[in-house]
């Protein structure tokens, strides 16, 4: 009997996506997990939390050209 393959988290780093948050010019780095429930993270830039689709891996300052393509995070 073959073991059933588990979700790929052990096989390598999950793909990451950048999402824009409240602070202009900054993006949050979120791991893209196919059937993730959604995660809330406490924002370092404001007193509320934002909802994203997976675990937060960090933040990145964006240049303007990259910035405009990003999706918004739900609040
Ligand atoms: Zn915020």
What pLDDT score does 63 carry? Answer: 93
What pLDDT score does 7 carry? Answer: 56
Ligand 1: distance of its center to the CA of 49 in Å?
Answer: 6
What pTM does this model have? 0.76
pLDDT tens-digit map of 13-69: 789 999 999 999 999 999 998 887 888 999 999 999 999 989 999 999 999 998 999
Ligand 1: distance of its center to the CA of 27 in Å?
Answer: 10
Which three-class secondary structure string do you get for 4-60? Answer: CCCCHHHCCCCCEEEEECCCCCEEEEEECCCCCCCEEEECCCCCCEEEECCCEEEEE
Ligand 1: distance of its center to the CA of 20 in Å?
Answer: 9
- Residue the block writes with tokens 């300052």: 61
Where along the chain do its domains lie? 8-72
Ligand 1: distance of its center to the CA of 15 in Å?
Answer: 23
Three-class SS of residue 73? coil
């Amino acid at each position: 009997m073959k073991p059933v393959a588990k979700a790929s988290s052990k096989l390598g780093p999950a793909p990451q996506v950048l999402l824009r948050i409240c602070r202009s010019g900054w993006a949050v780095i979120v791991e893209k997990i196919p059937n993730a429930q959604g995660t809330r993270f406490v924002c370092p830039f404001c007193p509320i939390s934002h909802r994203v689709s997976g675990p937060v891996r960090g933040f990145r300052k964006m240049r303007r050209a990259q910035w405009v393509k990003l999706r918004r995070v739900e609040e």
